[in-house]
Each structure stands twice: as C-alpha cells, then as structure tokens.
Amino acid sequence: MIAFSCRFGRTSAAQRKYGEAIIPLNQSMTWSQLGLSHRSPMTSPIPPKCSPQTWIADLSSAAGIEQRQSKPPSPEVREFQSRRVRAIAQPKHDERPILPSQLLAKMPQIEQWYQITLAIERGGPGGWLSWGRIRSWGGHLPTPRGTKPGDGSSARPSRRDLFASGAAGILASGLAGLPAAAAPMSHPSGAQPAPRTSARHAEAGGSSDGGGPLRVPFVAGEPLREPEVRRSVKGELNTTLRVAYSYQDIGGYRLFLRTYEGGIPGPTFRMRRGDVLRIRLTNDLPPNRERMPLNLNQPHMLNLTNFHFHGGHVSPGGISDNVLRTMEPGGAYDIEIRIPADHTRGTYWYHPHHHGSADIQLSSGMAGVLIIEDGPDQVPEIAAAKDVTMVLGEVAFDGFGMVEGFDALFSETSVRFLTLNGQRAPTISMRPGEVQRWRLVHAGYQDDLFLAIDEHRFNAIARDGIGLQFMGEGQICTDQPERTDAMLIAPGQRIDVLVKAGEPGTYDFKALPYNQGYPSPAGLIARMKVEGAPLAMNLPKRLVAQPLASIRDDEITNRRELVFSAIVPENEAAAHWREFKFLIDGRSFDMNRVDHRVKLGAVEEWTVINAHFHDHIFHIHANPFELVKVNGEYFPPVWLDTVVLPRNGSITFRSRFLDFTGRYVLHCHMMNHEELGMMQLVEVYNE
C-alpha cells in the first residue's frame, strides 16, 4: 500500500524547511519510484480554492498512476489504512524510511494542521485510488460521541472537530500513538506524558511501557466479566462469528486489535456430546497489502484466518477442524463440526490457526471457550459449584496500540501484563465456604504461568477437558482431586479446578516467578474478594471414573522419536527474530510434506526430545495422548492434548489414532515458534 499524506494549515519555518507535504510509504516504495524529486518537494499545500480531489488527481498523475474512483472502503478498512501509515520516505539519495517521530522531532513549532490519508492498491497496470480520510497523526483518536469504547466502531472525526481541538488537542490525541522518542520537550496545555517504565515485563502486574497507545482511565478491581454464552438447542448450535478490528480498553490502554465479535475473549460455546456446531465465519479484516513470501515460516498475510477446535476429537478435514484451510478477508465461510457421542466432556477452546498469522491473531485476543457439558453422572459437589469461565491472556502491543508484527511479540520479555477475560486485575467475588469451579484456559501466545492464590489451594478435577484419575505409587489408582498450592499451566492447556473460599478478606490470584529457560511473566492476575454470609459447601472426596482407558504395553503397534531444536544467535537478547529458526527433526515446517503417516486404528508410543535450552510446548491435533514418562522417568499417567516439553529433556506418551482420517498438525504451542517453523504434518490413512 502507498499512502499519500498532506499536511496543511498555518505553517512554521520548520515545516517550510522540510516540506508541507509528506508522503508516508511502505518500505518498497520511495520518492524516486513515485517520480517525485527530493529537491523540489510539493512546497505548497492544497490551494484555498482547490479541492482535495483535484490536488490528489494531480499528484496521482505526476506519479504515473491511473486514477479510478471506487466506492469508499468500509470504516474498518479505512481505519486499518490510516493506522498502517508508519514510515516516511527520505530524499532520493537516502531511501531508508524514517519514523514519524523523527520527523516530528524536527518540527517543534507545529500549529494547526490535519492530514488526509489515501490508499493506492497496486492491483493491475494502473491501480486505483480510494477515497481520502481526515486523520490526526499517530492513529489514536478520541472516541466519537455516542460510541462506546471497544464496540468495534471506527473513530472518524470531522474537520471541524480537528480544527476545534487545535494543535494542543491534536497533539494530545495524535502523538499518544508515537513512540516515546516522539514526544516533544514541552507538553501542550500542561499535559504531562504517561509514566514510563522499562518495556520488560519483570512484574507483569505492574506499570507497563507508556510510550505508545492512548492512555484511558483504569481502575483495578472491576468485577470479573464472563464472555457471552451461546448454547446448543436440540442437538445443534448454529451461530455466526465475525473477525474484525475493534477498540479494546485494557489495563489503562486503548488498543486496536483483531477480535471475535468485537470482544476479548470471544463468545463461549456450550454444547453436549453428539451435537453439531455450525458457524458462519465472516472475515471482515482489511485486505492483505503484501504478496505471499517464498518462505512461509515467518509472519505473513496477517489478515488470513481459519478456525481450530483445540483439543477436539473431531474430523480434521473438509469444513470441520481443518487448520490447513484459508479464510480470506472479505469472505464468509461455513464451519461444521460434529461432536462424537463418546467425546470427553470438559473444557476446550477455539482460536485461529492459519500458518503465518495465527500468532499475531491469538496475541490480539482472538480466542474463545468451547465447553462440552457434563451429563447426569456428574459428581454432586461439582454440580453444586458455581461454574466460572476464566481465559488467561498475555497482552503485548506496539507503539501504536496494535499487534502488527513480530517485533511486538518475539522478545522473551514482550508481555506487558496478564489479563483474565480481557481484563487487568479484575475482582472475583466469593462467599466464605463457597466452592466455585474455575475453568482456566491459557489462551496466551508464549509463556507458562505458575499460578497460586494467597492462603488457598487448587483442587484440580480435569486437565485438557479430560477428567483426572491418577495412578499413584505402587500402581494404586486414586480418584481424589489433585490438591496443590500452586500449579503450572502452559499456553493451550486447560485446567478445571475447584476453589473453596476461606475467611473473609481479599486474596491475590497471581502468577509466581517461574524459569522456563527465561523468566515467565509474574504478577497479579485478579483479586479474590471473600465477603458476605458463609455457605456450607464441600469439596468432592472422589471423582468419576476416568473416561479414557490407560494404554497397555501390549497394545503398542509402533514407536517414534521426534526432536525439537532451535538455531539461535549467540546474543539472543540483542538479536532480531529473523535470526532464529525453530525445527523438528532438523527441518522447518513444509505444508506439502507429510512428516508422519499413521494407519487408522494404530496405537503408538512417541518420545519427543527437546534439544533446546528453553522449554517448548507440545500439542497435537485430533487425538489426545497419555503422558507416561518425563525425562525418561516414570510419570503417573495422565491424558492431555498439550504438555510442557522440558528444556534439554523429553516426554513419552501413548496415543490411539481413532475414528478420523486426514491431515493435521503437531507443533509447539509457543505460537511464535510454530510460525517460525516448529510444526509437522501428520496424515492418518485407512487402507
């Protein structure tokens, strides 16, 4: 995309020196390619009696671009076009782009001005010119009257609004979107910059780097909000799912993120075994402005998407849980997933999984919970507990309050803070003695979290949607809940826990420091407030029988070994993400290469080795597995679909490849590792 931008109004000496008209470009287009001389820039703004359209036509003609009017793009496309204006071309002799902040630093005397942004699609011999849009610089605007923050509406101020606000108002709203270096030394109207700390996340619950997005009022301790719930009726859940940008006010920042249905997280789907899930997914993200790269193991085509039912034992083909499918911007796509009648009951989730864009979209908050509800054989103490859905998230963003590239995500210290159901530090209300069932879903993109609650214990009843039943010492089976003071949850995992409130008071639900080869984020997630009349509720003493039978030695039909590894630069902290490679069996992912062919009905034992000094997270689609060894040592068997692969260690699991043929993937669920190649293709066939 090329974006022409002109600035006009009263000018200063600095503006006359550097040119009243500036042309933001992407990296592939420069002044010379537009046919414009750096020695004779357009030194006069739009003449008073000349319409913007006439001036634009003259500019497009000078650049050798055919002008054809088209219908105005949607508000979201215009919003995307405006906010993607990031770089400014330098003179012809130096074609490296500079940042808006660098230009603004040279223009300390800016007075009243505004900007018209236009997008030119290079889609053919001439291309076409779209309609203009009045914007303030930096991409962050006040929410218009009658619009609620986070409702997905585009903020579109009028000329009158911009002129009425004057330079002070424009700088206050517009420069909020620039990096810290862009802030002028003096602050209009006495406004002070937001407090700044290091961008490193040492305390995920603390203040984050304030150098970018618009700051908005934030009060910690708002009640926890649960996502919208959509239930199946008479064996069917027929629904829609819209993917689009929307404003989200999170933790004192106004962010502009890709979302499901305009919220974080997306709606919760509640179903029963044997039901059919039908979704009409509409991709209302803007068109991609790039070509498909030769190397697909990197972020690319960020607005392509698809749909993955994480943990589901369902068909991986057709319009079901097919992560090899592509859903392009502007299209509407049908999804139909049939839940088997013998599917395990429990907590699952959904998220995008298109290779190249999945990490960017997931880190924006595109995730939702899918619950296969318990039946009449539920344990009474569990049935009596309040059922609470809790989606753990990791918030990272760039200086514009967006997630538009790996630079905002790849660093091991990129997480600004942690969220619960899209909120920062909400309040969970309980009464003394009350038991609640928390369905914890880790929808973060990168880090393990070591969870704890002050003076309380977790009573785990299910992991990855599968009820727990442990084989203890001496091969003696125990069906009691797993009670622990702290527990580890990795991206992609789910843990259902019962929490019994203690004495009245306020307790921190938090992530403790944890070493996964580098420090995972630590800090406050939520506060548990215990107050009111006490309740007499009990924890279960026993759980129902495990739904999946353990795999015996004599069932094994084949054994495999995989090796996860990485090629990293010597100085990781200072390296660019393009210098890293993440491999399985020494190779990067190739969607045209099948890495494992498994016969339908096979029962196999796999050993996965981690040859890297960081933890990874192993996840395989379609079939759960029974973990039996960690680092070569016996581990009490537990059924999972996602597991931490310890650094310089290994896991061994067994799995039955049942019911479904087709192609699907296994990968590291640190999604930036998956995007950079740590994924393989599995094909289950039936002779």
For residues 91 and 675, which has the higher predicted lDDT (pLDDT)? 675
- pLDDT computed for residue 687 by the predictor: 82
Cβ contacts of 322 within 8 Å, gap of 6 or more: 306, 316
Residue 34 has pLDDT above 90, yes or no: no
Q: Please state, in angstroms and rounded to a whole number, the distance separating the CA atoms of residues 298 and 306.
A: 17
Q: Give 513's pLDDT tier (boundaries 50, 70, 90).
A: very high
Question: Given a cut of 70, is residue 420 above it in pLDDT?
Answer: yes
Q: Report the pLDDT averaged over residues 28-50.
A: 33
Produce one character per residue of 331-349: b if its CB has 16 or more CB atoms within 10 Å, e if not: eebebebebeeebbbbbbb
Mean pLDDT of 525-553: 93
d(CA 185, CA 188): 10
- Report pLDDT digits (tens) over 174-186: 222 222 222 222 2
Range name among 62-66, 514-518, 674-678 with the lowest pLDDT average: 62-66
Does position 580 have pLDDT exceeding 80, yes or no?
yes
pLDDT, mean over the chain? 75
pLDDT > 70 fraction of the chain, expressed in percent and rounded: 66
198-207, 574-583, 629-638: least confident range: 198-207
**Between 8 and 418, the higher pLDDT residue:** 418
Question: For 197-201, 203-207, 362-366, which range has the lowest pLDDT when averaged over its residues?
Answer: 197-201
Which CATH number is 553-685 given? 2.60.40.420
HSE (CB half, 13 Å, CA atoms) of 486?
13
Phi, psi dihedrals of residue 213, rounded to the nearest 5°: -65, 165
Q: What is the pLDDT of residue 100?
A: 37
> What is the spatial distance between Cα 28 and Cα 5, in angstroms, rounded to a whole number?
17
Are 684 and 657 in contact by the 8 Å Cβ rule? The answer is yes
How far apart are the C-alpha atoms of 181 and 70, rounded to whole Å? Answer: 38
What is the distance between the terminal CA atoms of the chain, rounded to a whole angstrom? 49
Give the pLDDT score at 412: 64
Is beta strand 625-630 parallel, antiparallel or unpaired with respect to 633-640?
antiparallel
Domain limits, the chain: 2-190, 229-530, 553-685
| pLDDT reading at 150 higher than 60 | no
Closest by CA to 424, choosing from 629, 250, 213, 249, is: 250
The better pLDDT of the pair 526, 78 is held by 526
In terms of Cα–Cα distance, which of 354, 121, 146, 147 is closest to 258?
A: 354
User: What pLDDT digit, counting tens, does each position of 208-254 carry?
Assistant: 344 568 899 988 899 999 999 999 999 999 999 999 999 999 999 99
Which tokens belong to 214?
């618009």
> pLDDT higher for 587 or 18?
587
Over residues 382-403, the mean pLDDT reads 93
| Per-residue pLDDT, 52 | 37
Triad 551, 540, 383: Cα angle to 5°: 95
Residues 6+ apart with CB under 8 A from 267: 227, 228, 229, 230, 239, 241, 260, 261, 368
Q: Which helix (H) or strand (E) holds 174?
A: helix 159-174
- Does the structure show a pLDDT above 60 at 89? no
DSSP-derived letter for residue 188 is G
Identical fold for domains 229-530 and 553-685, yes or no, is yes
Q: Please provide the DSSP assignment of 392-435 as one string.
A: EEEE---TTSS--SGGGTSSTT---EEEETTBSS-EEEE-TT-E
Q: At 256, is the pLDDT very low, low, confident or very high (cuts 50, 70, 90)?
A: very high
Q: What is the pLDDT of residues 428-472, one digit of tens each?
A: 999 999 999 999 999 999 999 999 999 999 999 999 999 986 544
Higher-confidence residue of 537 and 61: namely 537
Rounded Cα–Cα distance for residues 387 and 21 (Å) = 58
pLDDT over 90 for what percent of the chain? 58
Phi (first) and psi of residue 83, to 5 degrees: -75, -15
Chain length of the chain: 687
Q: What is the pLDDT of residue 56?
A: 38
127-143 confidence digits (pLDDT tens): 222 222 222 223 222 23
Q: What is the CATH number of domain 229-530?
A: 2.60.40.420
Residue 75 has a pLDDT of 55
Comparing 647 with 98, the larger pLDDT belongs to 647
- Quick one: which of 663, 659, 640, 661 has its CA closest to 651? 640
Measured between alpha carbons, how far is 303 from 305 in angstroms, rounded to an integer?
A: 6
Range with top average pLDDT, 24-28, 37-41, 345-349: 345-349
Per-residue pLDDT band for 392 (boundaries 50, 70, 90) equals: very high
Question: Quick one: three-class SS letters along 242-263?
Answer: EEEEEEEEECCEEEEEEEECCE
Please give the residue that has the higher pLDDT: either 568 or 334.
334
